[in-house]
Structure 1
């Protein structure tokens, strides 16, 4: 079975909502290289609706966004207003029956909706490089389908996985590409930036506010580094007004420890662990 993706621009909201309601999608015309006739019942379909780049999340403007190319030189980052995942119930066909108010869109397929995600962080880390590239391919082809069914070929294939930990040739089949649609809790990067700048102005270098470790002191000034953490995790509070006092600067080690538990460790517990550690009492 194939996986397909279609990009729908923000101006097409009316047609998009009608298509979802009636479980049908169509194109007005087909280009010679269109893969629309290959869409079959049982295939998966992803609709990516309206990619934007809000300035409060991405301060650096990109002219012509999303009319840009994702490559090794440019890391695509944006917000998808909505991503719909569905299953094709009737493959490619032609019909002149009226569905949309502005045109016929006779080249069609039918689908059912399996899931809907809103305000999805559309980055390589969150949705995968291939999904981004194929969404942009659909965008540049004015909403035609793009095939998502690429699977990377592993360099080696092996019928079974060797689990002998004493073996010098432990191996496993790897390299398969998978696609994940996930919901992202959006953070304002400007708050973290201001928090760090204030700390730097006050102290002249970064250090962890829990364990006092300083990249500056240990590795040198060119490696000065710190991470910013929400004292009250956003996945627990939901949408909220965040103040600078709600943030704390942590070294990479402390930040990793905080996020080891599913519910996120409290700062009070982290302080207790650090102060009672045998490493600090030596």
Structure 2
């Protein structure tokens, strides 16, 4: 039987779950560990208000479209990160992929979770698996482009394709 993150599961409404991605910068690795252990991810409000031309709206529009049961993937690493040109980034292996399911849609809280900031715009998560390193072909060019956009826009959420099984 394939690992849980490679099985497509239908939501209660019968629709296939969506896939959302966030590129986590190297200096935010501590926040990634805290979020993973506490089952929560968050953004600064002004980050979600940034325009996300790939998804034709703002980061907030993308975050609001997340539903319970959707996949939420936190991606980190890769030499040079998203600051390198897109054509290079889409062919660069990534260090880690944290595969989660959304357990609570976007909500607002000022309760301190992370040591460096509040990140009040949040979603609840259930971590399914962590894999790495991840070859870009496993995510696809479209998703890699969106991750490039996320990484260059304060980690705004972006849509993406499903994760392809490891070959």
| Shorter-chain TM band | 0.7 to 0.9
TM-score by structure 1 length?
A: 0.46
Q: CA deviation at 1:115?
A: 1.4
C-alpha contact (below 8 Å) 1:134/1:148 kept by paired residues? yes
Aligned to 1:263: none
Alpha-carbon distance in structure 1 between the residues aligned to 2:73 and 2:166: 13
Within the alignment, does 1:136 sit opposite 2:163 as a pair? no
Q: CA deviation at 1:10?
A: 0.9
Aligned to 1:111: 125
Within the alignment, does 1:78 sit opposite 2:95 as a pair? no
Alpha-carbon distance in structure 2 between the residues aligned to 1:37 and 1:126: 26
Match of 1:179 among 145, 163, 166: 163
Name stretches of at least 5 consecutive residues in structure 2 with no aligned partner.
1-16, 51-57
- Secondary structure of 2:94's counterpart equals strand
- Segment of structure 1 superposing worse, 84-93 or 133-142: 133-142
Q: CA deviation at 1:181?
A: 5.4
Change beyond 3 A, Cα 1:100–1:77: same
Alpha-carbon distance in structure 2 between the residues aligned to 1:65 and 1:136: 5
TM-score by structure 2 length?
A: 0.75
Count of residue pairs brought into register by the alignment = 140
Change beyond 3 A, Cα 1:40–1:75: closer
Q: CA deviation at 1:76?
A: 2.9
Instruction: Provide runs of 4+ in structure 1 moved above 4 Å.
Output: none
- The alignment's C-alpha RMSD in Å is 2.2
C-alpha contact (below 8 Å) 1:84/1:117 kept by paired residues? yes
Alpha-carbon distance in structure 1 between the residues aligned to 2:89 and 2:100: 27
Q: Name the structure with the higher strand share.
A: 2
Alpha-carbon distance in structure 1 between the residues aligned to 2:165 and 2:33: 20
Q: CA deviation at 1:126?
A: 3.5
Within the alignment, does 1:13 sit opposite 2:29 as a pair? yes
Higher RCO (CA 8 Å, separation ≥ 6 residues): 2
Alpha-carbon distance in structure 2 between the residues aligned to 1:65 and 1:144: 13
- Secondary structure of 1:100's counterpart equals coil
Alpha-carbon distance in structure 2 between the residues aligned to 1:25 and 1:117: 18
Correspondence list, 1:2-41, <5 A:
2-29=18-45, 30-31=48-49, 33-34=58-59, 35-41=62-68
